């Protein structure tokens, strides 16, 4: 790790922190492609770079989403029903996603990530003009939906905000509370997914120094230390920016990341 790479990771962390507070995402949509580009430059083999990017991204999300969740709790932007019934599903799904990622061939993982994000972007663009909303499903169905969110999130190395925010908003949860509740769930998704990657990576030979399974600690520290300081900025912005503007910004952000990973 050179000073230049550490500096880039700190800047990445600062941006991720603002986005986490503003959009309820853990920042994995930005961290994964950035790490996939930067990790080989620090000597990590391209054969394991994607797995390490996913695992390290999830580890940073634990810190970022945790900080964002605390800020949103203070601002009253968390829905207790959502947390109670979405949480069991996202824990199970987050752990399952790490198993699936371990069996998918390495060369296909970036494409899987890009495809997932593209679908999320299209869904968000369609929801901007949609005024129809449904009430929250039953507790059992919410757990099932949570499991799906957890699997996809862990597989893409994200905290699930890109899935849970639109899901909650569509089911009648006000955008700011959807963002805040998503931050809480994202922290738990990231923890369960990261533990799965640590377990799978523990049996892999020739991992770089300062790795715990597939989690690369120098990148984790650089990104997380900056992001935890800037989530408060994003959380405050989320209470001031109109809902329609939040949705548009979210959709454009997703389209950009999807295009970068697919192309």
DSSP tag of 74: H
pLDDT bracket for residue 102 (50, 70, 90): confident
Q: What total number of domains does the chain contain?
A: 1
Q: Is 43 exposed, middle or buried (0-12, 13-18, 19+ CB in 10 A)?
A: exposed
Model pLDDT, residue 214: 92
User: What tokens appear for 57 in the block?
Assistant: 């991204």
Residue closest to 153 by CA, chosen among 196, 200, 122: 196
pLDDT of 28-80, one tens digit each? 777 888 888 888 888 888 888 888 998 998 888 888 777 777 877 888 878 88
**Cβ(136)–Cβ(81) under 8 Å?**
yes
- What pLDDT digit, counting tens, does each position of 219-232 carry? 999 988 888 788 77
In sequence order, what are the residues at sequence separation of 6 or more whose Cβ sits closer than 8 angstroms to the Cβ of residue 206?
45
| pLDDT for residue 210 is more than 70 | yes
Confidence tier at 101 by pLDDT (50, 70, 90): confident
Q: Which of residues 10 and 95 earns the better pLDDT score?
A: 10
Whether 250 has a pLDDT exceeding 80, the answer reads: no
> What's the whole-model pTM score?
0.74
Cβ distance 256 to 29 under 8 Å? no
Instruction: Report the chain's terminal Cα–Cα distance, integer Å.
Output: 27
Listed residue (136, 168, 133, 130) closest to 149, CA to CA = 168
Residues in Cβ contact with 150 at an 8 Å cutoff, skipping those fewer than 6 apart: 89, 90, 91, 92, 93, 94, 95, 96, 97, 160, 189, 192, 193
Range of the domain at 38: 3-262
């Amino acid at each position: 790790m050179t000073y230049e790479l550490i500096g880039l990771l700190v800047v990445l962390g600062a941006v991720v922190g603002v986005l986490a507070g503003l959009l309820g995402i853990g920042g994995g949509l930005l961290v994964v492609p950035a790490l996939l580009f930067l990790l080989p430059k620090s000597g990590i083999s391209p054969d394991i770079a994607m797995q390490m990017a996913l695992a390290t991204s999830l580890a940073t999300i634990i810190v970022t989403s945790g900080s964002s969740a605390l800020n949103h709790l203070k601002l009253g932007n968390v829905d207790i029903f959502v947390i109670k019934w979405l949480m069991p599903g996202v824990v199970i799904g987050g752990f399952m996603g790490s198993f699936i990622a371990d069996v998918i061939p390495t060369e296909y993982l970036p494409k899987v990530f890009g495809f997932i994000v593209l679908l999320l972007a299209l869904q968000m663009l369609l929801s901007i003009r949609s005024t129809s909303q449904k009430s929250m499903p039953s507790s059992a169905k919410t757990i099932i939906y949570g499991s799906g969110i957890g699997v996809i999130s862990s597989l893409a190395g994200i905290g699930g905000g890109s899935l849970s925010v639109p899901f909650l908003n569509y089911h009648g949860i006000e955008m700011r509370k959807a963002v805040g509740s998503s931050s809480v769930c994202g922290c738990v998704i990231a923890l369960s997914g990261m533990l799965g990657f640590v377990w799978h990576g523990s049996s892999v030979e020739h991992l770089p120094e300062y790795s715990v399974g597939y989690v690369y600690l120098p990148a984790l520290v650089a990104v997380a230390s900056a992001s935890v300081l800037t989530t408060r900025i994003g959380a405050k912005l989320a209470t001031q920016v109109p809902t329609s503007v939040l949705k548009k910004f979210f959709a454009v952000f997703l389209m950009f990341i999807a295009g970068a990973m697919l192309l």
